Amino acid sequence: MTILPESRRIRVDDVELHCEIVGEGEPLLLIHGLGSCTEDWQPQIEAFSRDYRVIAFDLRGHGRSTKPRDGYSIERFARDTAALINQLGLAPVHVVGISLGGMVAFQLVVDAPELVKTMTIVNSGPAVPAATFKQRMPLYVRLVYLRTLGLRQMAKKVVKGLFPEPGQEALRQGFIERITRNDKHCYIASLKAIFAGWGVARHLGEIRCPVLVIAADQDYTPVALKQLYVDRLPNARMVVVPDSRHALPMEKPREFNRALADFLAPLTGGAGSTSSPQEAQ
């Protein structure tokens, strides 16, 4: 049975953040990726709300949150997230972040470690090197697509790498529709924030909470590079999901949910143990 979430709008500085809250138990905060929204987390919301109080929200400039034209940075996203947690009165929370959301999670745990009980990073990392032309090339390519083709055509190009299998048409169409609903100026501002030389890698040794890194074996960033930063974290481990790509929680919800449940179970008194959440079929 699907449990309907409680929708709220939380005022944070100059924006209102849309969030959805469902379930009871220890708080589990889900942070989406670039151009995404709470809808991407549906398989996780349905599975984990059985044992946790799940909170999914739209970052500024995304989904149903306010869309200012400027003021975007990883640090700003993290401040928004900290303010959201504090206003909801749920700290400390278990944080799960994918891609851009993983960067926000890293910044959050560095800036406000008291708000984070555990952290799960999905296909992301603690820094985005952007000093050289080669490192900035993905930004330039995406900007060219956006400015010459628009959001929908860009999404059609990107989605081929995310969901390449014949049986993934529904995932492809859902992704295209969600990307197309973005404001192009906000999307570009968020994209530039990623490539603005952000990084907290120098603080990895200070992150004391338990950390799980869930990596797709066919992600943009090789598993070996992820292992390098995992090795620098005092209390971290990595799980690699085979035959998976960047949008792992949507593409392989069963495998993703199992990895997250196994990580959280011994830290939450057994909630979400290996016999519990399965993805929605």
**Number of domains the chain contains:** 1
* The 236-241 sheet, strands edge to edge: 6-12, 15-22, 52-57, 26-31, 93-98, 116-122, 211-216, 236-241
pLDDT the model gives residue 269: 76
Range of the domain at 251: 6-126+199-267
DSSP state of 205: G
Give domain status of residue 257, yes or no: yes
15-22 and 52-57 strand pairing: antiparallel
- CA 210 vs. chain centroid, Å, equals 17
CA atoms of 65 and 8, how far apart (whole Å): 10
10-residue mean pLDDT profile of the chain (281 residues): values are: 74 95 97 96 96 98 96 97 97 97 98 98 92 72 86 91 95 95 95 92 98 96 95 98 97 98 90 43 33
Which pLDDT does position 137 carry in this prediction?
A: 77
- The answer to whether residue 56 is domain-embedded is yes
* Phi, psi angle pair for 178, to nearest 5°: -70, -40
Tell me, yes or no, whether 116 lies in a domain: yes
pLDDT of residue 3: 57
Q: Please state, in angstroms and rounded to a whole number, the distance separating the CA atoms of residues 78 and 88.
A: 15
| Side-chain half-sphere CA neighbours of 223 within 13 A | 14
Note the pLDDT of residue 93.
Answer: 98
SS3 183: coil
Count other C-beta atoms under 10 Å from residue 194's C-beta: 19
Q: Give me the amino acid identity at 159.
A: V
Q: Is residue 280 part of a domain?
A: no
83-114: buried (b, 16+ CB within 10 Å) or exposed (e) per residue? Answer: bbbeebebebbbbbbbbbbbbbbbbbbbbbbe
- CATH assignment at residue 238: 3.40.50.1820
In the numeric block, the tokens 């016999």 are attached to 275
Domain membership flag for residue 74: yes
Answer whether residue 187 is part of any domain.
no
Residue 138 lies in a domain: no
Residue 169 placed within a domain: no
* pTM score over 0.85: yes
